Amino acid sequence: MSVAFAPAGMAPRQARVLDTMLVAQERLVAGFEGVEADATAEEASSAGAEEGGGPRRFGDHGWLRPAGGGGRARVIEDGLVFERGGVNVSAVVGERVPPTLAAQHPGTEGRPWFATGVSLVLHPRNPHVPAFHANFRYFEVGAAAADAGAEPLAWWFGGGADLTPAYPVAEDVRAFHGALSGWCARHPQADYPAWKAACDAYFTVRHRGEMRGVGGVFFDELTSHGDAGRSFVADLACVEDGIATLLPAYLPLVARHRRDPYGERERRWQALRRGRYVEFNLVYDRGTLFGLQTGGHIEAILMSMPPLAGWAFDHQPAPGGPEAAALAFYQPRDWAQGGADADPVDHHWRTA
């Protein structure tokens, strides 16, 4: 694919990964627009849509970075199913690798770098549909953009996906983790238990001692050893398969809950959980802080913010209710094994 923001003179490998990200963006947006197109009249009415307004589409916002590269943000707001969300692709370059990264990769000091990635965040309107985040990225240091034949000094992939339900249901969480665990099982360089533990640790709102949701997987610095060209191809294949896992992991949960009834009470709890999401993203999320500190494209970075978030003093959910049951889910738990550990509170409130 050719895009206006692509950095000039990308090496073939860089162009190849950017292409992966652009194809991913197209497919993901198509998948989510399909969800919007299936909205019933009742969903449209909940969304405050006027009769006959038709399904909502993702907008298309290109942006350029003065120092090189740019991105394309596909954003939906006020959708019938997705209240706010987006799928963003960027590809950026620099002449000198940031010092903190160079320190981790000796020999790369002062060399040019290239980064590209796709990230998505979805905040559904219905409080029973989980919010969803995923991100896959590629970083390369050392080969000048024009120096097309050279191997980079260092390269790696990173990424992950995590689920944030306001009203978690154990079978959904197991299905989501099962899809990610299945993806990892298909690639020797992927390590579900380690990546799941990294996700639990990363997406924790540390000042509250709770996860923002029910986790997923998170990995960084994936760069397989062995023949450089071959391991790059294998790692890219692993990432592409991870991207292909996103819709099958998430869309069934949307389908299962998009028509669940809800009212003011559920919207209020959703707003409070979104407040925790905001706390995590603005206080701890490395990508967000790196973007804000380095003059990234603010609106694309803060695409992750929910449409509405709430705070209340020392909120304590009513004992025995679904909100109290939800809290037990926001701690690390073994989801893929389906062991007894994974289901201590499931549904007991549903039969109450």
Kindly tell me which of 186 and 208 has the beta carbon lying closer to its own copies. Answer: 208
Which of 105, 123, 128, 133 is labelled catalytic?
Answer: 133
Q: Give the Cα separation of 76 and 78 in Å (integer).
A: 7
Residues 6+ apart with CB under 8 A from 315: 272
Min separation Cβ 285 and its own copies, Å = 11
Q: Which stretch binds its own copies (CB under 8 A): 15-23, 102-110, 229-237, 272-280?
A: 272-280
- Binding test (CB under 8 A) with its own copies, winner from 67, 312, 327, 328: 312
What are the structure tokens assigned to 158, written together?
Answer: 């990173």
Min separation Cβ 273 and its own copies, Å = 13
186 touching its own copies, by CB under 8 A: no
61 touching its own copies, by CB under 8 A: yes
Q: Is 133 a catalytic residue?
A: yes
Kindly tell me which of 92 and 305 has the beta carbon lying closer to its own copies. Answer: 305
Q: Is 343 helix (H, G, I), strand (E, B) or coil?
A: coil
292 touching its own copies, by CB under 8 A: yes
Min separation Cβ 146 and its own copies, Å = 32
Residues 6+ apart with CB under 8 A from 206: 284
Cβ atoms < 10 Å from Cβ of 291: 17
- Binding test (CB under 8 A) with its own copies, winner from 226, 313, 351, 352: 313
Q: Give the Cα separation of 136 and 181 in Å (integer).
A: 17
Min separation Cβ 127 and its own copies, Å = 15
What are the structure tokens assigned to 327, written together?
Answer: 């809290």
- Binding test (CB under 8 A) with its own copies, winner from 15, 24, 75, 115: 75
Residue labelled with tokens 């592409």:
240
Min separation Cβ 271 and its own copies, Å = 7
Min separation Cβ 279 and its own copies, Å = 6
Question: CA neighbours within 13 Å on the CB side: how many for 223?
Answer: 13
Question: CA neighbours within 13 Å on the CB side: how many for 287?
Answer: 25
290 touching its own copies, by CB under 8 A: no
**CB–CB of 217/196 below 8 Å?**
yes
Q: Is 60 helix (H, G, I), strand (E, B) or coil?
A: strand
Q: Which stretch binds its own copies (CB under 8 A): 15-23, 171-179, 222-230, 292-300?
A: 292-300
Q: What is the CA radius of gyration of the chain?
A: 21
- Binding test (CB under 8 A) with its own copies, winner from 208, 265, 347, 348: 208
283 touching its own copies, by CB under 8 A: yes
**CB–CB of 139/150 below 8 Å?**
no
Residue type, 73: A
182 touching its own copies, by CB under 8 A: no
Question: CA neighbours within 13 Å on the CB side: how many for 262?
Answer: 23
Q: Which of 109, 16, 26, 68 is nearest to 294 (CA)?
A: 68
197 touching its own copies, by CB under 8 A: no
Q: What does the binding site for its own copies look like in residue numbers (CB under 8 A)?
A: 59, 61, 73, 75, 77, 84, 86, 206-208, 271, 275, 278-279, 282-283, 289, 292-293, 295, 298-299, 302-303, 305-314
Active site residues: 133
